[in-house]
Structure 1
Amino acid sequence: MWEITGHTRVLAILADPIHQVKTPQCINELLRAQGVDAAMVPLHVGAHDLATVFSALRRVRSFAGCIVTMPHKTAVVALCDELSVEARQTDAVNAVRRLADGRMRGGMLDGIGFIDGLRRHGIEPAGHCVYLAGAGGAARAIAFALADAGARRLSIANHSVERAEQLVERVRRWHPNIELAVGDSNPGGHALVVNATSLGLRPEDPLPMDVAQLDATQTVAEIIMEPAETALMQAAWARGCRVHAGAPMLAGQARLMAEFMLGQPLSAAA
């Protein structure tokens, strides 16, 4: 039987709100299958308490690392002592490993996991025009991953046009050959449409784009995992679009997350 003992390494996920997270279930299932003595728990941490909680976790010797999700992905950057290349590119962190001396190393796996999830379901972004809603931590990682994957054109739309412009310029510095543009609410003319905002977590949220402009030639992808069917997904289905849910993004990066936090490779058996 799987037990939590004094030898168990502790993992966590930091979020606000926390009810929607699926990562603990996915990570714990993977750890059990691998026979790894570690367990993940959800921690509901507000923005004002993030630095205090992060400082305390440095001093917990059995703490191995954490996943960081909305709305903390950008705030955690300043709290880390080291950053991976992906974290530096995006100025955002979604996975943290506590080193033996208490220092924290931040990484960004959202983009890699998102592309892996697309490809596992037969959706290939290479050579296509992509509309990306959002310019926050997850959106930054996905923007870079789409460019890395060979997207032909990337339109980035955000309620703050300035933030969209900043992300366009950031991607252009690393990928000068991709066609980049600041988009508006109209996702028309793009083969792949991605919602990388938090809009859809709550029933009262507005839609992240003008769904009246969607048509049956397009694929609409979500990053939100709970609810499993967002209002955007329902609207896209109604217009005949192919829909890609948020769960495959988590499945695509669960192993990467576990390996990053624990600082060890997992076997390919599970």
Structure 2
Amino acid sequence: MATAEMNPLSISGSTLLYPVIGYPVGQVKAPMLYNQLFAAIGIDAVVVPLEIAPADFPRVGPALFAVSNVRGAMVTIPHKPACVDFLDAASAAVKAAGACNAIVKRADGTLFGDLFDGIGFVSGLKRAGVEPKGMRCLVVGSGGVGAAIAVALGEAGAASVGVSDINTDSAARLAGRLTSFGVCREAFVATNDPAGYDLLVNATPLGLKESDPLPVPVERLAPGTVVADVIMKIDFTPLLLAARERGCTIHMGREMFIEMAPLYLSLFGYDGYTSDGIRKLVGYKD
């Protein structure tokens, strides 16, 4: 089918499926981006959200890949750590973070997992002119995305990474992995007090709901601190608005989202795309 004739919702008997697996999935933006992108470049594939409850995931998650035309999947909260259990092989980032957000079914039927949140986040920072090398970083949230970002910041040369989570055991496990895998100069369990850090990352869902509290005491933010949020559904989250009022540099979650796109495409076998090229293809505005 010619590219000009393809509709983002065209589905045929040969269409390949790439589910977005999560719970909930109402906030995911991947179907809008990738289905538009597949149509623009003439790929007969669709991305569909699948809401799988955590109790069902150990049974349903692996079974999805028995479907012949499911060639890969994108994984979101809360399943990034759990899906590691049924992978046959994984990248170094997955092993260090203990989480996975990208799965491809290889020709022999085995599953390989990778982790793109962190790489996408750091790429977005650098594209915005922020170099994490030498920065003192605070990552609030030690789940899948927080773990990925902590690993990537360490690999990018951050001076230190503090991990804060209401689940201190989870924060301690992540800080321990950062140290044991040698990806970070200094990693430690931290509070959510942002004073003394160069970069603050909100890697929690706080901000998705109007009733959510702020993830950190913003009055402790120093002007000039880089404040980033991973939430993609809202560009200017309450945290980012409060940080901007205090003279901080802010960084939106959608930048991580678009920077991950060429990584997913390459994993799924569609090479040669860049984030800048994808922005032009889909009319994505900075």
State whether TM-score is above 0.5: yes
Aligned residue among 108, 128, 132 for 2:115: 108
Distance 1:92 1:12, change over 3 A: same
Q: Is the 8 A contact 2:236 2:252 kept in 1?
A: yes
Listed as ranges, the matches of 1:5-154 within 5 Å are 5-154=12-161
Whole-Å separation in 1 of the counterparts to 2:150 and 2:187: 10
Whole-Å separation in 1 of the counterparts to 2:25 and 2:127: 27
Deviation digits for residues 8-31 of structure 1 (CA, Å, limit 9, x no counterpart): 111110111111111122222332
Structure number with greater CO (CA < 8 Å, separation at least 6) is 1
Shift of 1:251: 0.6
Deviation digits for residues 98-150 of structure 1 (CA, Å, limit 9, x no counterpart): 23444322111111111011111111111111111111111111111001111
- 1:215 is matched with 222
TM-score by length of 1: 0.93
- 1:187 is matched with 194
Whole-Å separation in 2 of the counterparts to 1:42 and 1:60: 16
Distance 1:37 1:124, change over 3 A: same
Name the Cα RMSD after superposition: 1.7
Whole-Å separation in 2 of the counterparts to 1:267 and 1:176: 28
Shift of 1:170: 1.0
Q: Does 1:258 align with 2:259?
A: no
SS for the counterpart of 2:139 is strand
Shift of 1:78: 0.8
Q: Is the 8 A contact 2:157 2:184 kept in 1?
A: no
Which segments of 5 or more consecutive residues in structure 1 lack a partner in the other structure? none
Shift of 1:176: 7.0
Whole-Å separation in 2 of the counterparts to 1:160 and 1:63: 35
Whole-Å separation in 1 of the counterparts to 2:184 and 2:58: 38
Whole-Å separation in 2 of the counterparts to 1:266 and 1:17: 32
Shift of 1:239: 1.6
Whole-Å separation in 1 of the counterparts to 2:145 and 2:269: 22
Q: Is the 8 A contact 2:71 2:104 kept in 1?
A: yes
Q: Does 1:198 align with 2:205?
A: yes
Q: Is the 8 A contact 1:12 1:67 kept in 2?
A: yes
TM-score by length of 2: 0.88
Whole-Å separation in 2 of the counterparts to 1:91 and 1:46: 20
| Residue-pair matches, total | 269
Listed as ranges, the matches of 1:138-177 within 5 Å are 138-175=145-182
Q: Is the 8 A contact 1:34 1:267 kept in 2?
A: no
Shift of 1:177: 6.4
Whole-Å separation in 2 of the counterparts to 1:119 and 1:34: 27
Whole-Å separation in 1 of the counterparts to 2:251 and 2:265: 24
Deviation digits for residues 214-238 of structure 1 (CA, Å, limit 9, x no counterpart): 1222110011101222221122122
SS for the counterpart of 2:121 is helix
Shift of 1:266: 3.6
SS for the counterpart of 2:200 is strand
Give the aligned residue type for 1:215: A
